């Protein structure tokens, strides 16, 4: 699991921009479901193909690339499951 800074640094290196808003959006539920109580449960909400579609709609194709990097760094792949209700 990467830190917020690691996600930003990876995007800066590979895409030329940190995409901080996307990393904040993807991990927003980590505050509601902290690691010490729910493990990686927060990833079920936006770390998937549907989450990437939402990112692309809001931040465009470059934003989607940043989201893909974030998810693959965290999980090793992009899950296809449907997003849990937010």
pTM of the predicted model as reported, rounded to 2 decimal places: 0.82
Report the C-alpha gap between 38 and 56 in whole angstroms: 28
| Statement: residue 50 has pLDDT above 80 | yes
Rounded to an integer, the average pLDDT of 15-19 is 98
> What pLDDT shows up at residue 15?
98
> What pLDDT shows up at residue 79?
86
**Angle at the Cα of 71 (from 17 to 79), degrees rounded to 5?**
145
Rounded to an integer, the average pLDDT of 45-63 is 93
Give 76's pLDDT tier (boundaries 50, 70, 90): confident
The H helix count followed by the E strand count for the chain is 5, 0
């Amino acid at each position: 699991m990467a830190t917020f800074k690691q996600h930003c640094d990876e995007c800066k290196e590979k895409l030329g921009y940190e995409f901080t808003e996307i990393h904040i959006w993807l991990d927003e539920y980590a505050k509601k479901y902290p690691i010490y109580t729910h493990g990686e449960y927060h990833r079920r909400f936006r770390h998937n193909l549907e989450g990437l579609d939402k990112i692309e709609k809001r931040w465009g194709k470059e934003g989607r690339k940043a989201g893909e990097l974030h998810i693959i760094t965290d999980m090793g792949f992009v899950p296809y499951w449907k997003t849990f209700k937010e």
